[in-house]
Amino acid sequence: MRLEVRETYSPALSIIAPFGAIIFSLLCAFVLLFIAGAPPIESFFYLIKGAFGSPNALAETGARATPLILTGLAAGIAFRAKFWNIGAEGQLYAGALAATFFGTGLIHLPQFLMIPFLFLVGGLAGALVILPLVILRQLYKVDEVVTTLLMNFVILLFVSYLLEGPMKDPMSLGWPQGSPVIDNGVLPQILERTRLHLGFLIAIVVAICLWVLLSRTAFGFRIKSVGHNPSATYHAGIPLFKTVLVVACLSGALAGFAGITETTGLKGYLTLDLSPGFGYTGIAVAMLAALNPIGIIFSALFLAMIYVGADSMSRAVNVPTYLADVVVAITVLSVLVSLILINYKIQIGKLKF
């Protein structure tokens, strides 16, 4: 097998490649359904129906996409600067903790102030847990992948302690959960009697703002150059330390936002199963969109469709729900191949791609 650099950049290929990756992962799902003894075509029908078949299903897909857009943006901006933040899961819970601490009665503000305030403290909490790790990386070269990953476990245990101890809702009948967020802090529903809430629109606005930041400002250019060539960036006079620090904190804050939308929009209170791995799925969301903030909106919607659809599909044809996680994992890997295909020709024996 050989790799050859492509001399000409092909815009068509860079659009086709990610779709090829999606088709490949759906084909893999097909095979797995077959192995599981379910009728693949019928199952796919249930998947589509479960994700789009009714207004309620559509709302559910949007609700599921909300935290994924935010954790996807968290991974996307960090990966652009080659800062490997795999700790979005923990940062999400940090944001949720902030919502529970400030939003359950400690502070009372009118709604139009309370919601921005909760996002502010949630973002700060997410940034705060990543701050020591980015400093350790920049000063002592401590690998951030492992530290951010380990931090997820520390934060989750801390949340578990708080929910069983000081932050436990006294009205929860023994369940380890936080007190409900006060009415002024709850994100209103967009569609009546569904779970789709204002957080969805906020996530889209955040994605657009981030797109402007990354593609239309000098700071966005700095982030890109830090990722591509840190030493050249340094010699060009761009402050390396400061740029990475800001990117990491921004990434942590975005993941913290996801914690806010889930506590104040979806559930109304903090539980230990608030996130079924949104932080990790965010990596897949970002990769599928080639780290582009606008693309992240669509890739989050796509993966949300897979999750919501797979839920109802697995009920209908009796297949383990973990199928959705398999599809997401295969998407990450096949997108990696497609990104290489955009830049390199791959030759295996006589075959050329």
Partner 1 sequence: MIIEFLELFVNAGFWAATVRIACPLLLATLGELICERAGVLNLGIEGIMTAGAMVGWTAVYLGADLSLGIIFAALIGAIFGLIHAGFTVHLGASQHVTGIGITLLAASISYFAFRLILPTSTTPPKIKAFEPIEILYLSDIPFLGPIFFQQTFFTYLAFLAVPIVIWFLNRSPFGLAVKMAGENPMALEAQGINVLRIRTIAVMIGSALMAVGGAYLTMSAFNAFYFGMINGRGWIAVALVIFAAWKPERAILGALLFAGLDAYQVRAQQLAGAVIPYQFFLMLPYVLSIAAMVFAAKSTRYPKALLIPFRRGERH
Among candidate residues 279, 245, 284, 275, the one with its CA nearest the CA of residue 127: 245
* Position among 149, 190, 191, 266 found at the interface with partner 1 (CB under 8 A): 149
Decide whether 33 or 63 has the Cβ nearer to partner 1: 33
* Position among 41, 106, 112, 140 found at the interface with partner 1 (CB under 8 A): 140
Say whether residue 340 binds partner 1 (CB under 8 A): yes
* Position among 19, 320, 347, 353 found at the interface with partner 1 (CB under 8 A): 320
- Determine the interface stretch with partner 1 among 66-74, 108-116, 220-228, 336-344 (rule: CB under 8 A): 336-344
Decide whether 35 or 294 has the Cβ nearer to partner 1: 35
Say whether residue 329 binds partner 1 (CB under 8 A): yes
Q: Smallest distance from the beta carbon of 119 to partner 1, in angstroms?
A: 28
Distances (CA, A) of 108 to 48, 105, 122, 185, 189: 43, 7, 16, 9, 21
Say whether residue 232 binds partner 1 (CB under 8 A): no
Q: Which of positions 277-296 make contact with partner 1 (CB under 8 A)? A: 280, 283-284, 287
**Which residues are CB-contacts of 175 (< 8 A; sequence separation ≥ 6)?**
169, 271
Both tokens of 117, joined, read: 């305030």
Q: Smallest distance from the beta carbon of 208 to partner 1, in angstroms?
A: 25
Say whether residue 47 binds partner 1 (CB under 8 A): no
Q: Which of positions 162-191 make contact with partner 1 (CB under 8 A)? A: 164-165
Q: Which of positions 86-115 make contact with partner 1 (CB under 8 A)? A: 86
Query: Which contacts qualify for 192-198: CB closer than 8 Å, 24 or more apart?
Result: 194/55, 194/56, 194/59, 194/60, 194/63, 195/59, 195/60, 195/63, 195/266, 196/59, 196/60, 196/62, 196/63, 197/63, 197/66, 197/261, 197/265, 197/266, 198/115, 198/265
* Position among 17, 32, 125, 130 found at the interface with partner 1 (CB under 8 A): 32
Among candidate residues 268, 280, 255, the one with its CA nearest the CA of residue 123: 255
Decide whether 19 or 353 has the Cβ nearer to partner 1: 353
Q: How far apart are CA 292 and CA 212, in angstroms?
A: 11
Both tokens of 12, joined, read: 């068509």
Among candidate residues 306, 331, 318, 309, the one with its CA nearest the CA of residue 39: 318
Decide whether 11 or 37 has the Cβ nearer to partner 1: 37
Q: Smallest distance from the beta carbon of 34 to partner 1, in angstroms?
A: 12
Say whether residue 336 binds partner 1 (CB under 8 A): yes
Count how many Cα atoms sit within 13 Å of the Cα of residue 215 in the half-sphere of its side chain: 10
Q: How far apart are CA 167 and CA 150, in angstroms?
A: 23
- Contacts with partner 1, residue ranges (CB under 8 A): 1-3, 32, 35-36, 79, 84, 86, 136, 140-143, 145-147, 149-151, 153-154, 157-158, 160-161, 164-165, 280, 283-284, 287, 318, 320, 322-323, 325-326, 328-330, 332-333, 336-337, 339-340, 346
